[in-house]
Amino acid sequence: MRLFPQLQNVFANMSYSGTREWARQRRVCSSEHFDTYFRFSVSLKTIPKAELDYLLDASRTVKEIQNRVREAIGITQAEGRTKAAYILDELTTHGPNISFEHGEKLLTALFGMADELLLDQDEGRGFASYGDNGLRLHWLLRSILRDRTTLEERSELLGRAVAAATLQWHVDFSNSAWEDYYPSNPDREPSSEAETLTTEALAEQLRGQSLDMLRTAAADGTMLSAKRPDRLLFEWDRLQSDEAGEVIAYTTQALEDDVKLCQLASAFLGKSYSHGMGGFGGEPGDLVQRENDRAQVNGIDRLLNVDEFRRRLSETLQSDALDGQQKSTISRFLTAWDPRDSGED
C-alpha cells in the first residue's frame, strides 16, 4: 500500500482524488511511469527525466526549447503519438512547480511554434480519451497559472507570450479569451474570474490582432497552406464585421485557381473513425478502428458559393492542370460529400 496508495481504497478505508503529485515524483503507482520500473528503458508513455530537466532548466533559451520540441515531433512513441505530445503532458504535470519567469519562456517558445504541433497522429480518435496538442497547450498554460495568479497577472504574462504566436494558435487563443466573456453557446455562462485567461480589454485587442493576421495570410497566399485552413476561414468569417463579405470575396478568387481549389477540397475533407460492433444473429464484431473520409461541409455556405465550388471541383477532375494526387483528393471529397446531401453521415 505504500507503493500503490490506491490500494488503501480497499484495505484501509482511505481514498485519493488526485494522482498528479505521484506523476511529478515519477512513482511506480503513476500509470505513466509504471512500465519504467519493469523494463530496462523509460516507458514510451513518458520522457526521460534528463530531457524533462533540460526543458525545465531556467537557463534554457526560447530557441533551445523550440529546437528540443522540434526534434521530438519526428519521434513516434506509445499509441502512435509523437514524443512532442508526451513532452506537453509532462510539462503540464509539472506546471504548478514551474516558476512564472520560466513558465513565460516555455509558453513563448511553444506558442511561437504551435502550428507545427497540430499533428494528426496526436489527435484522439474513435474512443480514445486524449485530446490534441492544441488542447494540451491550453492544459499546460492553465497548469502553470491556475490558482497561482490574479487575472491581471495572467493577462500580462499571456499577452507577452502570445505576441509572437503562430497564426493558428493566435486565432485559437484569442477565441478562447473572448469566449470567457462572450460564450458562443447560449447555454453557457461567462467564465468565473478564476477560469478567465485575460482581461476583457486584452481579449478584445487579441481579437483585432487575429483578424489582421488572417487578412495578411489571405493577402500573402499562406491562408490555404496553413495546417487547418477550414478553421481559419470560419474564424475569419466570425471576426469580420457584419456583411463585410471579405471571406466570400477571397474564396471567389480562390475557386478560379485550380491549386487553391484543391487546397479548399483538402481543407474540408476530414476523417471519421468507426469500429465493427457485430451484427444480429451472433455475427462477430471487431475492435479494428477504421478511418473514413468525411466531408466537413456544415456551414460552408457562409464561406463560399457552394454550387460554384462543386461545379469547379467536377470540372477540374477532367483538367490536366492537377496531378494524380490532387485529383484523388478532389474525388474523395466529392464522394464523401454526396451522402451528406441525402442526410447520411
> Does residue 6 lie within any of the structural domains?
no
Cα separation, 218 vs 313, whole angstroms:
21
Give residue for cell 481543407. 267
271 and 215 within one domain: no
Indicate whether 70 belongs to any domain.
yes
Last residue of a domain, one of 115, 148, 181: 148
Per-residue pLDDT of 9-35, as tens digits, reads 888 778 776 677 888 888 888 888 888
Show the cell assigned to 210.
Answer: 487575429
Asked whether residue 193 is domain-assigned, the answer is: yes
Task: For residues 125 and 215, state if they share a domain.
Answer: no
265, part of any domain: yes
Answer whether residue 339 shows pLDDT above 60. yes
Q: How many domains does the chain have?
A: 3
Residue 52 sits in the same domain as residue 137: yes
137 lies in the same domain as 222:
no
Q: Does one domain contain both 31 and 71?
A: yes
* Chain mean pLDDT for the chain: 89
Calculate mean pLDDT across residues 261-279: 78
Among 148, 177, 211, which residue terminates a domain?
148
Q: How far is CA 21 from CA 18, 33, 131, 157, 344, in A?
A: 8, 12, 21, 25, 47
Together in a domain, 337 and 229: no
Q: What share of the chain is helix, strand, coil (3-state, %, to 5)?
A: 60, 5, 35
Range of 63-77, 267-281, 323-337 with top mean pLDDT: 63-77
Separation CA 138–CA 176 (nearest Å): 9
Count other Cβ atoms within 10 Å, centred on residue 227.
Answer: 18
| Structural domain contains residue 153 | no
**pLDDT at position 277, please?**
56
Contact at 8 Å (CB) between 329 and 270? Answer: no
Nearest to 254 by CA among 267, 244, 269: 267
Q: Which helix (H) or strand (E) holds 240?
A: none
- Work out the number of other CB atoms within 10 angstroms of the CB of residue 37: 13
Handedness of CA 35, 36, 40, 45 (dihedral sign): positive
Structural domain contains residue 8: no
- The yes-or-no verdict on residue 279 having pLDDT over 60 is no
Average of per-residue pLDDT across 200-209 = 97
Q: Is residue 52 part of a domain?
A: yes
Whether residue 316 is contained in a domain is answered as yes
Residue labelled with grid coordinates 453521415: 345
**Listed residues 148, 176, 206: the one ending a domain:** 148
Inform me whether the pLDDT recorded for 118 exceeds 80: yes
Q: How many whole angstroms separate alpha carbon 251 and alpha carbon 279?
A: 45
Mean pLDDT of 199-224: 96
Q: Are residues 92 and 197 in the same domain?
A: no
What average pLDDT does the segment 236-250 reach?
A: 90
| Residue 156 exposed, middle or buried by CB count within 10 Å (0-12, 13-18, 19+) | middle
Give percent of the chain above pLDDT 70. Answer: 91
pLDDT digits (tens, 9 = 90+) for 130-178: 579 999 999 999 999 989 999 999 999 999 999 999 999 999 999 999 9
| In a shared domain, residues 26 and 136 | yes
- Write the CB contacts of 295 (distance below 8 Å, at least 6 apart in sequence): 268, 269, 270, 333, 336, 337, 340
Q: Are residues 43 and 126 in the same domain?
A: yes
pLDDT tier at 36, thresholds 50, 70, 90: confident
The whole domain housing 81 covers: 16-148
The residue-averaged pLDDT of 77-99 equals: 94
Domain match, 138 and 70 both: yes
Same domain, 210 and 329: no
Same domain, 224 and 294: no
